[in-house]
Structure 1
């Protein structure tokens, strides 16, 4: 299947998706907001809210009505006041476009100038985790408590109050909340007054915000408490959480304080708000949300006990905290003009989160870890159903579909590639120039390129447009010649979905080369490959070379046979870990694309058996698990033995037991190797040890190092029985940290017994929080034996599941079909989705389906050859 891609989206104000007058979902520009005053009264017991909004606006030309956004609201008592005269307004709704029109009841018009729009409204605190919604938790006394909280991005502020709900219609917000006296209220501004009302409630008034978009507004109320604020350069920063979880806040505070200070220094611009609240919410559809000064998070991404959390879990907290704080400038202070430019904020915040985390804990090698996330973007971008990073957005459903790996990880990867090509100092200067020039305003992609061109003197726009406005990416082929190398590019694609002119597609590729020459000298070259091929003159024949030196380019590399053999033989000595990661990743991708055999990948992994780097090991093991999943029984056993042998040998070198003072990544690597050996490798000694560690970690035994404890849970589940299953369900329900709760839920997916697996599916569908259940059900379809059972469960309960779960999570749940790899089942899945649409993720679902078929073809081509003698595998 093919997805037709338009050219670069037009800027707002021209014809096309960005033009309000051409898009039925966009508001006219004849009335524009300046200020909102919102009074909101949530009733947590009734799951309802009422409120009143007054909007100061500017009439740009005479009009006979005002149109703004409203959805799922009951609106009444609308008035329009101009020049001291107030007139009632008739209210009409267009549910399809989520617009509300106010028309003076006396037939009068509004003149150019200021107007005040007032309206009362009411609505339900919904369970869909969008707009103004309810979240619940069980307190220390065992009572269920309710929180009312918000999630407005992209177009859900209109579900909480009538507003001009588009990113370029910025305004100042003043918020007042009327709440029960025993509950805490939080909003974007600091609390400036709190007074009792005559009916026994409390009126909390918050300071005005900066001029900003509606999607950045937030208000939360519930049985909450806050840490003491930490002063970060004059800005108070604290964590807000449900009562009773203060012991889990220290690490998040440390990460927040470091990130805020580091980002102020990087941007060279003061924090644009007056306070920072990091708010842990029990139910949250996204990972976190950058509401101005009131950032909301999933609990697992903010609250943790460092003595029990793994390195990866702690890293993720720093990542997400840094990501959201990065938005305070890139997104909040300077905002994309329209939703087609979501990548402008999300890709840059992803880039900044990695840079910040790398500064916070350099020993975590965060930029090496980013190779894994970039690989997820590679995987989607090699499909015919990929899309450009920036493309046409018309409706709210289109905007929801932008929140994917291409916006975040591909966008961040090409930003990182550009930074490395320009140099970090010139790049940072361009970013500061961009933010200073556009503060409190809205921009398009070209504004960023112009600022970077100005600071660097390089043709940034001509280089980067191809990476942003065109889907896909190149593979750079490398051959030797007498005085250097020949490099050429063509589009990298999986399978048979590519267009006829794929070979003719050209990018401006920043290529970094390092090579050892026959005379023993090592040389480096940098070039911009803007044609189909080029010669790299190195002044002599090459012994070995690494193209994409440094590992930061968004392209794959395929070496000629002799060059590949030469670099693979010496990879452990001559390549940096991130470069070895790229070599392994590119080789596995070539297997999936049909350009290399499984035997070639297995040979490379075997050559790297003495590897000591965590991230390279992760990619090697994931690749072997991928081959294990598609192999026939005999081949599956061969791969299992290989995983066991490689993992146990590496464990023997690293040591089975943690050592005092050893690096964090060694501890994480031990967990990875332990899980591989005891899971797919089925090593009995490891399984026995895993059970001992599991009992110690889940009982009253000695503390177990967190990375090893987490791995032991997985291995114990993979080899567990019904008694183990009941124990893990109990541990999930009584977990004392968010990370532990999720860890035990994920472990339930590893039990091999079908009846236990089916119980897990029911548990996910009925009991587990809706923020987690769709993702867990998706993961269930990747189960080695029972993935098809999970598919049947989802298929048969489709209507119930999709009505219960947040709409933006459905396409994520469907992502599990990528794990299915038989032709008959793939045909059934594709037929099902031909009549069961996912409006917020239609393109994402198409990508899942295409990748499923890629896996089917991979199994049919390689599955029966895995485990055969090498000459048969490569024939």
Structure 2
């Protein structure tokens, strides 16, 4: 008892010091909940023709306890006033200090502020940002201002509580030049004159929103009203709908305006609740870092995504459908119900990604969004096979980790896990669980536990479903299921052993297991049946209860809706190979992936892999047909040193794929399916660029010259080749046309405001093979008058030319600060990844790490990007060693 008494006395003596120390610790993660905002009133003075903006912010809040130190967020803001306004009206000045590089703001009061209601008021100013926060974009000779607040941009625009768990209404007022258009999340409530030449535009109070969903735009926007989206279900009134573009661009949004209402209606039907906000504006941004951003009521898109036409290539139209459905799904999943912290970002992005593809496939089945999703998921499995991969639910401990969470693990793996669980529990039960989740947490915040509980409650096997979700969200990696067939008993069964899939050279631990919803399709006499069960633990047995006899063949991933790779016993693999044509198009994609996965472990030799090419070349869907091309490129770059041998390799590949291209032809046909159009584009590219086939290069080069006007008066003729092949034609024309073609492309780029054509021209210029022209291209990317900030990323395309990689690396390193200043933090990970392209020696990995580690240590997304790029190089070296000396024999 004596020890306890002395300890108690010591604690009482130290308690004031401990409390003071706790208050002084800078909250570089979530802010304390000592101060909770209830309303933010924001007034900003914004002129796109100026270098910066200014404003006032008033935050009504509640103090949970008496405090003299408050923690908020502000970054790169000039604060000229900071005051607390107490409930009795008394004003208390606050001393503001930058407390952390992430933008934590420390506010110190000269006295203890009482618990209860108070207001925080600030006067502030800032320079416009670089593709984040509030930033300027230029189209032609006109300037615009728009915003990108997610993830950490809001703190660069106004002081506040810049994290998802703080959700409150906003009242936004913009003071802007009288000739400009101003829009924000909510509808305009009033507009009145301000200073001479200015107007004050007030917007209605928003619903409760976190700061990352706040948005506004100012400039000479063209605005197309409606038509309003018709009433539907519980939404009794038409929904106001507008589209905004840069001056002169509105005609390009006709396709998007026509089809957006169908997407809204489909989402309302799925969620069983009306669109959650009072209006919908789609804004086509002339310069934007991301594809799109789901700001409540004001969705911002990279302009090219809103500009497809009926004649546009399939992938461009699919991008509109998928991205639009993704962003609109966020209005429910993310905006209506919001994550509490960034480690549940997947709640927003995984669900929206999966829903985007789902709605796109429902409304436009000919575009095959379901196969496009699977294609993305299979590519993501390669990233998820790294030892350095993230968990879907990876804890976010540092602000540099937040940017890393916006990656394929969050979007594509998360979406694939949802699709797998939906298949297991049933579409209706899954949808009902989602509806329950939204109803329970509408206008507030929620966590993964809330979603899991809602779905599990609707499932027939709640405990199993919860275990499956937890096992895929809480641990990294791709399950590898080793599948055998046991027909010795009365009921045939699959024998499943599981471990983590790892490529050759990985130092990760393969001793890992998941609760995997396995659905297998199999032949039962003349019938084909599908059964699903959970496989858990290192080994499990899955009875095929509906089978009347031992199956002739088994597809272990029915419809390829499971997030796992499979390896089959030799007899089962042979039987499946023999019945390849019986697999549906998604299953053929998964079959192709199983071959690639075996090649990357070293278990499948190059000759055996090459033997699969004729079968894949004849597959039903374009994705399975073209699946081997990445591996083939790796083989001829890394395993073949002799140029004559490379030429022979190309010729052998061409002989296998030529019949497929000849059946399609190079000219579009009236009866082309969307798959035909997509496959023609890819095969034409591979034959012309990769395989150097003169029979394909020559007509494409001629068509590209026609686009550039090289055989005429020099005028651009964008219609000189079909839209499906225009990019291919421009690449070949520039490669074959030397400086004349490059000069023409650069001239047309400087004159064009069409973002799609600009992208095609930049891509073609990136792939020129002449070193001096390649240097000109890189210099052009730094010309702010000619190239948008979001177009700088086309530098990565140049890495496709092996001979240009060293010069590209040197240029990126020399201009790293300029690149990140010009395009913002989003480009850091891209630079590191591009630097690693084609490097396949352990010494390269060490050099990359040594160069970039001190540079990216404090940059958003940088540390993980460097770790993964270094690991990719080491794995490439290990795979090269595993296959060294093995014959590259083609099937006879």
Corresponding residue for residue 853 of structure 1: 874
CA distance in 1 between partners of 2:50 and 2:266 (Å): 44
2:623 pairs with 1:621: no
**1:614 positional shift:** 1.3
Contact 2:759 2:791 in 1 (8 A): no
- Structure 2 partner of 1:184: 181
Could you say which residue in structure 1 is the equivalent of 2:831? 813
For the residue of structure 2 that corresponds to 1:170, the secondary structure is coil
Contact 1:44 1:146 (C-alpha < 8 Å) held by counterparts: yes
Query: In the alignment, does 2:32 pair up with 1:35?
Result: no
Per the TM alignment, residue 359 of structure 1 is displaced from its structure 2 partner at its CA by 1.6
> Is the contact made by 2:520 and 2:532 (CA closer than 8 Å) also made in structure 1?
yes
Across the aligned residues of Structure 1 and Structure 2, the Cα RMSD in angstroms comes to 2.3
In the TM superposition, residue 647 of structure 1 has moved relative to its aligned partner by 3.2
- Note if contact 1:185-1:222 (Cα within 8 Å) is conserved in structure 2: yes
Question: After superposition, where does 1:163-182 map in structure 2 within 5 Å?
Answer: 163-182=160-179
Q: Secondary structure, in 3 states, of the residue corresponding to 2:442? A: coil
Q: CA deviation at 1:505?
A: 0.8
Paired residues for 1:92-171 under 5 Å = 92-96=96-100, 98-105=103-110, 107=111, 109-126=112-129, 128-138=130-140, 144-171=141-168
Q: Secondary structure at the match of 1:428?
A: helix
1:193 aligned counterpart, secondary structure: strand
Q: Bigger shift: 734-743 or 287-296?
A: 734-743
Q: Secondary structure at the match of 1:786?
A: helix
Q: Secondary structure at the match of 1:564?
A: helix
Q: Where do residues 705-720 of structure 1 align in structure 2 (5 Å cutoff)?
A: 705-720=722-737
Q: Which of 444, 465, 468 is residue 463 of structure 1 equivalent to?
A: 468
Residues 284 and 300 of structure 2 are in contact (CA less than 8 Å); yes or no, is this contact kept in structure 1? yes
Correspondences of 1:408-423 after superposition (within 5 Å): 408-423=411-426
Within-5 A mapping of 1:34-433: 34-96=38-100, 98-105=103-110, 107=111, 109-126=112-129, 128-138=130-140, 144-232=141-229, 233=231, 234-307=238-311, 309-433=312-436
Q: Does 1:724 align with 2:724?
A: no
Conserved in 2, the CA contact under 8 Å of 1:429 and 1:455?
yes
User: Structure 1 residues 712-721 or 244-253, which shifts more?
Assistant: 712-721
TM-superposed CA distance for 1:148, in Å, is 1.7
What is the aligned partner in structure 2 of residue 862 from structure 1?
883
- Secondary structure of 1:781's counterpart equals helix
CA drift of 1:718 comes to 4.6
- Give yes or no for the alignment of 1:737 onto 2:754: yes
Determine if contact 1:624/1:639 at 8 Å carries over to the other structure.
no
- The 2-side partners of 1:854 and 1:86 are apart by 64
- Between Structure 1 and Structure 2, how many residues are aligned? 840
1:537/1:83 CA distance change after superposition, 3 Å: closer
Q: Deviations over 1:253-298 (max 9, x none)?
A: 1332221111111111111111111111122122111111111111
Q: Distance in 2 between matches of 1:445 and 1:21?
A: 29
> Aligned in 2, Cα 1:817/1:782: closer, same or farther, shift over 3 Å?
farther
Asked whether the equivalents of residues 79 and 88 of structure 1 are also in contact (C-alpha less than 8 Å), the reply is: yes
Contact 1:678 1:687 in 2 (8 A): yes
Q: 1:514 aligns with which of 521, 533, 541?
A: 521
C-alpha contact (below 8 Å) 2:618/2:625 kept by paired residues? no
> Residues 180 and 271 from structure 1, CA distance in 2 versus in 1: closer, same or farther, beyond 3 angstroms?
same
Displacement after TM superposition at 1:866 (Å): 5.7
SS in 2 for 1:506: coil
Cα distance between partner residues in 1 of 2:78 and 2:227: 41
Given that 2:149 and 2:214 are in contact with CA atoms closer than 8 Å, whether structure 1 keeps it comes out as: yes
Match of 1:840 in 2: 860
Partner of residue 655 from structure 1, selected from 656, 665, 668: 665
Name the CA distance, whole Å, in 2 between partners of 1:243 and 1:702: 23
Q: In the aligned structure 1, how far is the partner of 2:172 from the partner of 2:266? A: 30
**Do 2:705 and 2:733's aligned partners in 1 also have CA atoms closer than 8 Å?**
no
Change (3 A) 1:21 1:328: farther
Give the TM-score normalised by structure 1.
0.92
Is the Cα–Cα contact under 8 Å of residues 765 and 773 in structure 1 kept in the other structure?
no
Cα drift, residue 473 of structure 1: 1.6
| Structure 2 unaligned blocks of 5 or more | 1-22, 232-237, 710-716
Alpha-carbon separation, structure 1, partners of 2:355 and 2:655: 39
Distance in 2, Cα, partners of 1:869 & 1:287: 41
Q: Quick one: which of 683, 686, 689 aligns to 1:673? A: 683
Q: Do the aligned residues in 2 keep the contact of 1:304 with 1:737 (CA within 8 Å)?
A: no
Give the 3 Å change call, closer, same or farther, for CA 20–451 of structure 1 in structure 2: farther
Q: State how far apart, in whole Å, the 2-side matches of 1:202 and 1:759 are.
A: 45
Using the alignment, how far apart are the partners of 2:292 and 2:327 within structure 1? 7
Separation (CA, whole Å) in 2 of partners of 1:101 and 1:177: 27
Distance 1:471 1:774 in 2: 32
Q: Matched residues in 1 for 2:79 and 2:853: separation? A: 38
Q: Determine the C-alpha separation between the residues in 2 that align with 1:800 and 1:701.
A: 33
Structure 1 residue 548 displacement after superposition = 0.3
SS at match of 2:482: strand
Q: Distance in 2 between matches of 1:21 and 1:429?
A: 44
Could you tell me which residue of structure 2 aligns to residue 8 of structure 1? none
What secondary structure, in the 3-state scheme, does the structure 2 residue paired with 1:185 have?
Answer: strand
Deviation at 1:622, TM superposition (A): 3.1
Alignment of 1:528 with 2:525, yes or no, is: no
> Helix, strand or coil: the match of 1:723?
helix
The separation in 1 between residues aligned to 2:639 and 2:891, in whole angstroms, is: 15
**Structure 1 residue 629 displacement after superposition:** 2.7
Higher mean alpha-carbon deviation, 96-105 vs 470-479, is at: 96-105
Return the offset for 1:546: 0.8
Pair 1:780-2:798 in alignment:
yes
Partners of 1:480 and 1:146 lie apart in 2 by 66
Q: Which range moves more in the overlay, 46-55 or 727-736?
A: 727-736
Which sits farther off after the overlay, 273-282 or 760-769? 760-769
* Range with bigger deviation, 176-185 or 837-846: 837-846
For 1:85, what is the secondary structure of its paired residue?
A: coil
Q: Which runs of 5+ in 1 are unaligned?
A: 1-18, 139-143
Q: In structure 1, what is the Cα distance between the partners aligned to 2:346 and 2:145? A: 29
| Higher mean C-alpha deviation, range 693-702 or range 665-674 | 693-702
Structure 1 match to 2:615: 607
Paired residue secondary structure (1:235): coil
Kept in 1, the 8 Å contact 2:228–2:240? The answer is yes
Separation (CA, whole Å) in 1 of partners of 2:108 and 2:666: 74
Aligned-pair distance for 1:720? 4.3
- Of 560, 566, 579, 1:570 maps to 579
Match of 1:581 among 570, 589, 595: 589
* Residues 455 and 635 (structure 1), Cα distance of their counterparts in 2 relative to 1, 3 Å cut: farther
Question: Structure 1 residues 637 and 562, CA, compared in 2 at 3 Å: closer, same or farther?
Answer: farther
The answer (yes or no) to whether the contact 2:345–2:410 under 8 Å persists in 1 is yes
CA 685–482 in structure 1, closer or farther in 2 if over 3 Å, else same: same
Give deviations 1:696-753, integer Å, cap 9, x for gaps.
4455496533113333233434544232222332333334521111112112232222
Over 3 Å counting, the alpha-carbon distance change for 1:375 and 1:785 in structure 2 is farther
SS at match of 2:94: strand
Q: Structure 2 vs 1, CA of residues 431 and 145 (structure 1 numbering), >3 Å: closer, same or farther?
A: same
CA distance in 2, matches of 1:809, 1:116: 38
The match for 1:7 is none
Q: Distance in 2 between matches of 1:452 and 1:865?
A: 49
Task: State the shift of 1:641 in Å.
Answer: 1.4
CA contact (8 A) 2:766 2:795 kept: no
Supply the distance in 2 between the matched residues of 1:720 and 1:602 (Cα, whole angstroms).
Answer: 34
Q: For the residues of structure 2 that align with 1:702 and 1:136, how far apart are their CA atoms? A: 27
Deviation at 1:559, TM superposition (A): 1.9
Shift in alpha-carbon separation, 1:848–1:20, aligned structure 2, 3 A:
farther
